[in-house]
């Protein structure tokens, strides 16, 4: 899944970028979700919406979009993850698991593998680990119970992003298969 996250883009620019990204993703059978902007999901043709802590509730988003869209929620503590699970999103993003330069302030310092284990053990929703994930630690995240991981820097900042993405997938598959 790919998430379009452009906090500062105007809506018309966001829609233009979103439509181009949906086209690329759908050509490869990859779902694409919009971050925060529920009012643009249908206009873009996205497959879902990713909500932050300050956004709509999952119920409000489902009411606005209908049942055919993915809805995910970002969380940054066990209590937030527990509250999110009660809303029944399709997935819960949790982190940062490790320190990350992608976020600043309170969400920069990693919460650790024990925190992701705890969240995964307290919810039936798939948990996506966020924050500081790379090929060297993604296996630990999967073994801690995460259904997947969200990655920015490990791929976007790599000299060869395509190879970095392959390394991430190989590391995740290795963790799942026990190798």
141-162: per-residue pLDDT in tens? 999 999 999 999 999 999 999 9
Does any domain span residue 88? yes
For 10-48, how does the pLDDT look when each residue is reduced to its tens digit (9 = 90+)?
A: 999 999 999 999 999 999 999 999 999 999 999 999 999
Query: What are the distances in angstroms from CA 69 to CA 47, 60, 66, 98, 147?
Result: 5, 13, 7, 29, 19
What's the domain range around 131? 76-177
Query: pLDDT value at position 163?
Result: 95
Task: Tell how far CA 94 is from the center of its chain.
Answer: 8
Instruction: CATH number of the domain at 82, please.
Output: 3.20.20.70
Residues pairing with 50 in the sheet? 35, 72
Does any domain span residue 65? no
Does any domain span residue 58? no
For 53-97, how does the pLDDT look when each residue is reduced to its tens digit (9 = 90+)?
A: 999 999 999 999 999 999 999 999 999 999 999 999 999 999 999
Q: If we measure between CA atoms, which residue out of 134, 142, 151, 93 comes closest to residue 113?
A: 142
Report the alpha-carbon distance of residue 70 to residue 57 in Å, rounded: 14
Give the chain's largest Cα–Cα span: 46
Instruction: Give the count of domains, the chain.
Output: 1
Does any domain span residue 46? no
Whether 178 shows a pLDDT value over 60: the answer reads: yes
Q: How much of the chain, in percent, has pLDDT values that exceed 70?
A: 95
């Amino acid at each position: 899944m790919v998430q379009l996250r452009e906090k500062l883009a105007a809506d018309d620019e966001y829609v233009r970028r979103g439509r181009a990204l949906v086209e690329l993703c759908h050509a490869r059978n990859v779902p694409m979700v919009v971050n925060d902007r529920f009012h643009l999901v249908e206009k873009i043709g996205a497959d879902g919406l990713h909500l932050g802590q300050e956004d709509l509730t999952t119920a409000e988003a489902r009411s606005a979009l209908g049942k055919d869209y993915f809805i995910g929620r970002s969380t940054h503590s066990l209590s937030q993850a527990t509250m999110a699970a009660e809303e029944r999103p399709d997935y819960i993003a949790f982190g940062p698991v490790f320190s990350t330069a992608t976020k600043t302030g309170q969400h920069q310092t990693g919460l650790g593998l024990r925190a992701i284990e705890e969240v995964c053990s307290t919810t039936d929703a798939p948990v996506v680990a966020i924050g500081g994930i790379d090929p060297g630690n993604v296996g630990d995240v999967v073994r801690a119970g995460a259904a997947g991981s969200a990655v920015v820097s490990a791929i976007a900042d790599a000299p060869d992003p395509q190879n970095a993405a392959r390394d991430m997938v190989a590391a995740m598959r290795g963790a799942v298969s026990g190798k």
